[in-house]
């Protein structure tokens, strides 16, 4: 449905280039929700604006539903309003002096006369789209009298009213409070799955990306670090950056002693065999806190040490257990947690390996 290839966009910062999008290539399938995840300034908005036609890339191609919208080499650059895409921008921009109904109807009313639906068709379409975001009862209200979450849903309705083949969403939930964000996240997922709309969803929130996306790309400094299904990226990050960005991780330095065994500062760990590292290679063992259990330290990958920190989070307890010079983060249940100062056994139940060469930064 969407194919982005070899896309580049640099900005000029007093003579020095800022490579906001640096050779980015990916495809999004029909009906897929594809997330672009990365820290502030990594180029997410710039990439989305290139797809929308609001930014002119320096190189590369963008094809939507078989139609080339941007090709620097072929000199194609379809203007934004002729791309027919739905866009919800980072500040979702609800205009004053317009009712909810008029806001949602706007993209249809400004179509050139020959493509514009009749007034009754517009009414039917707007009622349908407001209904799908649960704003139909508020259609008569001035749009600026809506709550933050309602304005956000209205911005989505306005982007959907044209039935775009592709919907581009830039941090659509970022300005909402946590509770509303959670609620709307599920609502958005339902809407997207019901309508089957293909989406590119930009966020810096890993929970949002992991829970919403069919596939996601983690971006760092204008480039895609890793691309794949949420579970694959979470369980098998290929770089330290991805391991750390997608939730908490224990990153333990070590040296491979044999296929399946890594020596670390606190002892030898069993790791899944079949990794690419050879004996003698420096590696980083990645273990998620929820894959560490508090149990008898005599089992494989079992260590023992005192609890240094126990932080209650409502649905669990985050512990830090000191093993030699290492500090192991553990995600425990409130029932299973141990008191600060007590000695506990920790067992690292599931690990993956990164080459240390990909780990230039110290934690
Ligand atoms: N118009 C511009 N002129 C110069 N530099 C720009 C411009 N727009 C963006 N940049 C720079 O390009 C880089 C990428 O910016 P971008 O807005 O795409 O990041 P982002 O990932 O969307 O960040 P955020 O999560 O904060 O929204 C940043 O270094 C930014 O300062
Ligand atoms: Mg942005």
- Where do you find CATH 2.40.50.140 in the chain? 248-358
Whole-number pLDDT of residue 111 = 87
Residue linked to tokens 């930064």? 361
Q: Provide the pLDDT for residue 24.
A: 98
The CB of 49 under 6 Å from ligand 1? The reply is no
* Per-residue confidence (pLDDT) for residue 225, from 0 to 100: 96
Nearest CA to ligand 1 atom 11: 20
For residue 46, how many C-alpha atoms fall within 13 Å in the half-sphere facing its CB?
24
- Say yes or no to pLDDT of 154 above 60: yes
At residue 358 the predicted structure's pLDDT band, cuts being 50, 70 and 90, is: low
Q: Does residue 20 have its Cβ closer than 6 Å to ligand 1?
A: yes
Report the topology of domain 248-358: OB fold (Dihydrolipoamide Acetyltransferase, E2P) (2.40.50)
- What's the rounded Cα separation, in Å, for the pair 356 and 282? 5
Contacts of 310 (CB under 8 A, 6+ apart): 317, 318, 319, 337, 338, 339, 340
Is residue 46 within 6 Å of ligand 1 at its C-beta? yes
| Whether residue 17 has its Cβ less than 6 Å from ligand 1 | no
Instruction: Please work out whether the CB of residue 271 comes within 6 Å of at least one atom of ligand 1.
Output: no
**Pocket of ligand 1, candidates 8, 11, 50, 200: which has the most ligand atoms within 8 Å of its Cβ, to mutate?**
11
Q: pLDDT band for position 92 (50/70/90)?
A: low
The closest residue, in CA terms, to atom 30 on ligand 1 is 41
296 C-beta neighbours (distance < 10 Å), count: 10
Instruction: Measure 41 CA to ligand 1 centroid, in angstroms.
Output: 5
| Bridge partners (DSSP) listed for residue 324 | none
CATH 3.40.50.300 residue ranges of the chain are 2-240
Percent of the chain exceeding pLDDT 90 equals 69
Please write the tens of the pLDDT for every residue from 203-261: 999 999 999 999 999 999 999 999 999 999 998 899 999 999 998 899 999 999 998 99
Q: Which of 191, 193, 357, 160 is nearest to 277 (CA)?
A: 357
Query: Tell me: the pLDDT tens digits for 314-348?
Result: 889 999 999 999 999 999 988 877 889 999 999 99
Q: Report the run of H or E that residue 151 belongs to, with start and end.
A: helix 148-160
Please tell me the pTM assigned to this model: 0.88
CA distance 352 to 254: 12
Distance (Å, whole) CA 44 – CA 51: 11
**Dihedral sign (CA 251, 322, 333, 311):** negative
**Nearest ligand 1 atom to alpha carbon 219:** 21
Token pair in block for residue 130: 């407001």
Which DSSP helix (H) or strand (E) runs through 129? helix 119-132
Residue from 85, 244, 243, 275 nearest 165 by CA: 85
Mean pLDDT of the chain: 91
pLDDT of 275 strictly over 80: no
Q: CA-CA distance, 71 to 58, in Å (whole number)?
A: 10
Query: What is the 59 CA–ligand 1 centroid distance (Å)?
Result: 18
Residue 186's pLDDT is: 87
What pLDDT, on the 0 to 100 scale, is given for residue 359?
45
Q: Phi and psi at residue 196, in whole multiples of 5°?
A: 70, 25
Q: Check if 41 has its Cβ closer than 6 Å to any atom of ligand 1.
A: yes
Q: Using 50, 70 and 90 to split pLDDT, how confident is the model at 175?
A: confident
DSSP assignment of 35-94 equals EEE--TTSSHHHHHHHHHTSS--SEEEEEETTEEEEETTTTEE--GGGT--EEE-SS--P
Rounded to an integer, the average pLDDT of 146-172 is 90
Q: Is the CB of 11 under 6 A from ligand 1?
A: yes
CATH of domain 2-240: 3.40.50.300
Q: Which of 43, 58, 171, 202 to mutate to test the pocket of ligand 1 (most atoms within 8 A of CB)?
A: 43
CA distance 166 to 294: 47
Mean pLDDT value of segment 118-138: 93
Residues 6+ apart with CB under 8 A from 120: none
The answer, yes or no, to whether residue 363 has pLDDT greater than 50, is no
pLDDT tier at 11, thresholds 50, 70, 90: very high
204 Cβ closer than 6 Å to some ligand 1 atom: yes
CA dist 353 and 64 (Å) reads 37
Minimum CA distance residue for ligand 1 atom 20:
41
What residues does 11 pair with on adjacent strands? 18
Q: Cα(43) to centroid of ligand 1, in Å? A: 6
- pLDDT (mean) for 21-29: 98
Q: How far apart are CA 213 and CA 210, in angstroms?
A: 6
Encode pLDDT of 31-84 as tens digits.
Answer: 999 999 999 999 999 999 999 999 999 999 999 999 999 999 999 999 998 998
Q: Which of the listed residues 8, 15, 19, 20 should we mutate to test ligand 1's pocket, taking the one with most ligand atoms within 8 A of CB?
A: 20
């Amino acid at each position: 449905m969407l194919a982005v290839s070899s896309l580049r966009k640099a900005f000029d910062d007093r003579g020095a280039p800022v490579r906001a999008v640096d050779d980015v290539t990916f495809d999004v399938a029909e009906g897929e929700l594809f997330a672009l995840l990365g820290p502030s300034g990594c180029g997410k908005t710039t990439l989305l604006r290139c797809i929308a036609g609001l930014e002119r890339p320096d190189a590369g191609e963008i094809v939507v539903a078989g139609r080339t919208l941007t090709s620097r080499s072929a000199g194609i650059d379809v203007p934004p309003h002729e791309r027919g895409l739905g866009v919800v921008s980072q500040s979702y921009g609800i205009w004053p002096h317009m009712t909810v109904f008029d806001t949602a109807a706007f993209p249809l009313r400004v179509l050139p006369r020959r493509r514009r639906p009749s007034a009754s068709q517009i009414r039917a379409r707007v009622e349908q789209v407001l209904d799908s975001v649960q704003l139909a009862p508020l259609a008569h209200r001035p749009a600026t009298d809506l709550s933050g979450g309602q304005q956000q849903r209205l911005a989505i309705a306005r982007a959907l009213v044209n039935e775009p083949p592709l919907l581009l969403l830039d941090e659509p939930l970022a300005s909402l409070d946590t509770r509303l964000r959670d609620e709307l996240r599920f609502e958005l997922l339902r809407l997207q799955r019901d309508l089957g709309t293909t989406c590119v969803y930009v966020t810096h929130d890993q929970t949002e990306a992991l829970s919403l996306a069919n596939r996601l790309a983690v971006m760092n400094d204008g480039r895609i670090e890793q691309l794949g299904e949420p579970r694959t990226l979470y369980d098998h990050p290929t770089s330290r950056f991805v391991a750390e960005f997608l939730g908490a991780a224990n990153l333990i330095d070590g040296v491979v002693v044999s296929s399946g065994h890594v020596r670390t500062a606190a002892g030898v760990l069993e790791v899944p065999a079949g990794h690419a590292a050879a004996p003698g290679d420096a590696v980083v063992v990645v273990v998620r806190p929820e894959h560490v259990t508090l149990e008898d330290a005599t089992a494989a990958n079992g260590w023992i040490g005192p609890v240094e920190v126990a932080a209650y989070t409502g649905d669990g307890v985050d512990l830090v257990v000191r093993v030699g010079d290492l500090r192991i983060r553990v995600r425990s249940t409130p029932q299973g947690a141990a008191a600060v100062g007590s000695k506990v056994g920790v067992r690292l139940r599931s690990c993956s390996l990164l080459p240390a060469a990909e780990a230039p930064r110290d934690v």
